[in-house]
Amino acid sequence: MADVFVSYARSDKERVAPLVAAIEAQGWSVWWDPEIDAGQQFDDQIEAELQAAKAVLVVWTTASVASRWVRGEAREAADRGVLVPARFDGARMPMDVRAIHTTDLDGWGDNPNSAPFQALLRALGAMIVRQGGPSGGTTAAAAAASNRIGICVLPFANMSGDPEQEYFSDGITEDVITDLSKVSALAVVSRNSAFMYKGKLVDVPKVARELKVQYVLEGSVRKSGGRVRISAQLVDGANNDNVWAERYDRDLNDIFALQDEISEAIVKALKLKLLPEEKKAIEQRGTSNLDAYNLYLMARQHYATGNEGDIRRNDAIVRLCQRAVQIDPNYAQAWALMAIGQMLARLFRGGQADEGLAAAERALALDGNLAAAHAVKARILSESGRHDEAGNEIEVALRLDPESYEVNRSAAYLRFRQKRLQDAIRHFEKAQSLMETDASSANMLITCYTAIGDTESARRAAQITLARSQKALVQDPSNGAAMGFSCCALALLGQAESAKGWMSRALLIDPDNTNMRYNFACTLATFLNDVDGAIELLTPLFDGISAGLLNHAKADPDLDSVRADPRFQSMVAAAEARLAASS
């Protein structure tokens, strides 16, 4: 029996054959139906191979989506937990498997070294190892997949005695996670999973078991004046023993070298070899200026709150990044984050249609491989309805960093506005898995799953939305976005009176919050059957609505129940006329 079972449509045989050959070249055995012997029972052998495979690769195309055989094999693999989907030509996948992360192969060009094929290879390798493989696979790729060491970097504790310094300790943690992720021999737990333990008294062996890692890195940061003290210890998750521990007491200007030292010390403690290109990647910082870095970390912390509709938050991101690039004009990451802040400010307050585009292009001029810059450029182009250009930018961003939160968010919004809801769902699911504070993506999943009639998934998304929103409101009771998301989740979960109570209170606290008001209107229109209430909330919003939010509203299935209402049609027409006159 083979390691990999390949499910595909017969008409795609010429396209699939090079893919099969490239997988076999990695040392895994592959079964696909051309190998069925003459006279053998077709169904029996397929069933036997399908049940024995450690990974089932389903190649989605227009033809295979229409094939009942392929769809059946995909469902069987999903039920077994061994499905690894890939697709060509942006094929619209069946509803029951669309939420599973899928590799787009359009750019692979029959090249085993291409980014899409390498992404597929990682997915197959992880699945095969999970199922007890590789069985006979002897290549470096298969061996690497089975030998990677799992490590979790817990949020470094802020020991500065000042809660306002939390941004700095969180920033150090994120940078260490990013640095270690560049080491091919390590499998590093995502920020989202690691930050679930923030502020908690942790049992390291329990964390290791929950996250299925061998090692856990703990640490603390004390920043005072011009000095910084970082303590870190690497713990063996099996026996709770310290593998390595160190305390660094340095001038704050040494922070970049200090981060490099920590990453290299961990690699050395694990008796791993740091490849030259990995060492170079770790040491490559966006800036060497401490003041610019500090401002960028502050801006990044504001962004991580998830309160996208808060004009003050977005303005703060822009101001901090503007100051950072004044100090270091070549700080590409700061330019990209500034573009995000400008784009969000324009979306919820109005302004020039291309606001943020100049900053995104400046970031790309400095670093053409910065995935976040391609992503925000795509989102800005999408806001203006330039979907084809936006799609090109997203494809580049996904090739550069398919694990990026901002890349997946931007891809999700683009597909949502193109009404490609299955694709939007895939990216919103990925985004919410990458950022523990992201209630917005979970809220968008409520909309998407409701629109396609998947009630169970919509309820799951609502539960996540409510939990994250309530946590955000504990930290900031005036968080308008969280209030809007909470109401939507409560309404879907059958708690209509609680949702209405939240709306009444929130509108008294922050009546001008565009994001919150829009989400309240969607809740009334979709879940509370109150078209008049939705129109009432939307009327003042449409008086100053931005082009981006108007385009979003036109595509949003949450507003389908009000589209035929003459009042809504009049608001849309007036907004379009106003925007055309000001362009």
Give the per-residue pLDDT at 558.
94
Residue 400 lies in a domain: no
Q: Is 176 in the same domain as 234?
A: yes
Amino acid at the residue 460 = R
Structural domains counted in the chain: 3
- The tens digit of pLDDT for each residue in 181-222 reads 888 788 888 887 888 888 888 899 999 988 889 999 999 999
Instruction: Tell me which of 118, 146, 174 is where a domain ends.
Output: 146
In a domain, 388, yes or no: no
pLDDT confidence of residue 38 = 43
Shared domain for 165 and 128, answered yes or no, is no
577 in a domain, yes or no? yes
Q: Are residues 90 and 224 in the same domain?
A: no
Peptide bond into 276 cis (omega under 30): no
Q: What is the pLDDT of residue 309?
A: 66
Token pair 């033809």 is found at: 63
Check whether 366 has a pLDDT greater than 90.
Answer: yes
User: What is the CB neighbour count within 10 angstroms for residue 121?
Assistant: 20
Residue 7 has pLDDT above 90, yes or no: yes
| Residues 248 and 174 occupy one common structural domain | yes
Between 2-6, 143-147, 428-432, the lowest mean confidence (pLDDT) is in 143-147
Residue-wise pLDDT tens digits, 251-306: 988 888 888 899 889 988 988 877 777 888 787 778 989 999 999 999 988 887 76
Single pTM value for the model: 0.68
For 146-214, list the strands marked E by DSSP.
Answer: 149-153, 157-158, 186-188
Average pLDDT in the 433-460 region? 91
37: burial class by Cβ within 10 Å (0-12, 13-18, 19+)? exposed
Q: What pLDDT is recorded for position 137? A: 41
For residues 52 and 359, which has the higher predicted lDDT (pLDDT)?
359
Asked if residue 43 has pLDDT above 70, the reply is: no
Is 449 in contact with 461 (CB distance < 8 Å)? yes
- Averaged pLDDT of the chain: 86
30 is a domain residue: yes
Closest CA to 230 of 193, 200, 207, 260: 260
Start-to-end CA distance of the chain, whole Å, equals 64
Q: What are phi and psi for residue 453, nearest 5 degrees?
A: 80, 20
Same domain, 105 and 217: no
Q: Has residue 563 been placed in a domain? A: yes
Q: Which residue has the higher pLDDT, 89 or 522?
A: 522
Same domain, 465 and 582: yes
- The pair of three-digit structure tokens given for residue 508, joined into one six-digit string: 């008294």
- What is the strand order of the sheet 55-60 is part of? 30-31, 4-7, 55-60, 83-87, 103-104
Write down which residue in 146, 164, 187 finishes a domain: 146
- Given this model, what pLDDT does residue 13 score? 87
Residue 34 maps to which CATH number?
3.40.50.10140
Give the separation between CA 368 and CA 175, rounded to whole angstroms. 20
125 and 208 fall within a common domain:
no
CA nearest 96: which of 556, 409, 457?
457
3-state secondary structure of 233: strand
**Is residue 278 in some structural domain?**
yes
- Where would I find the H helices in 253-331? 255-269, 276-283, 290-304, 311-327
Q: Which of 106-120, 174-188, 301-315 has the highest mean pLDDT?
A: 174-188
**Residue 333 pLDDT level (bands cut at 50, 70, 90):** very high
Q: Tokens for 451, please give them.
A: 């629109």
Residue 445: pLDDT band (50, 70, 90) is: very high
In a domain, 480, yes or no: yes
Look up the CATH number of the domain holding residue 471.
1.25.40
Confidence of residue 359 (pLDDT cuts 50, 70, 90): very high
State which residues form the domain around 26.
4-146
* Cα–Cα distance measured from residue 115 to residue 105, given in angstroms and rounded to the nearest whole number: 9
The whole-number pLDDT of residue 306 equals: 64
Instruction: With H, G, I as helix, E, B as strand and everything else as coil, classify residue 518.
Output: helix
Helix crossing, 166-181 with 290-304: angle to 10°?
100
126-166: pLDDT as tens digits: 788 766 654 434 444 444 444 678 899 999 999 987 777 88
Helix (H) or strand (E) holding 244: strand 242-251
The reported pLDDT for the residue numbered 314 is 86
61 lies in the same domain as 105: yes
For residues 130 and 153, membership in a common domain is answered with no
Kindly indicate the confidence band of residue 39, based on its pLDDT and cuts at 50, 70 and 90.
very low
What pLDDT, on the 0 to 100 scale, is given for residue 345?
Answer: 85
What is the structure's pLDDT at 364? 95
Whether 416 shows a pLDDT value over 60: the answer reads yes
Q: What is the mean pLDDT of residues 158-179?
A: 86
Sign of dihedral through CA atoms 57, 62, 63, 65?
positive
Output the pLDDT for position 51: 84
- State the Cα–Cα distance between residues 412 and 423, nearest whole angstrom: 7
Of 4-18, 130-144, 236-250, minimum mean pLDDT range: 130-144
Q: Are residue 179 and residue 108 in the same domain, yes or no?
A: no
Q: Provide the pLDDT for residue 301.
A: 85
Q: Does 339 map to a domain?
A: no
Share of the chain above pLDDT 90, in %: 40
Contact 279, 264 (CB under 8 A): yes
Percent of the chain clearing pLDDT 70 (strictly above): 92
Boundary (domain end) residue, out of 84, 114, 146: 146
Answer whether 169's CB lies under 8 Å from 92's CB.
Answer: no
Strands 227-236 and 215-224: antiparallel
The answer to whether residues 450 and 580 belong to one domain is yes
554 phi and psi angles, rounded to 5 deg: -65, -30
On whether both 166 and 264 belong to a single domain, the answer is yes
Structure tokens at 578: 């106003």
Mean pLDDT of 511-537: 91
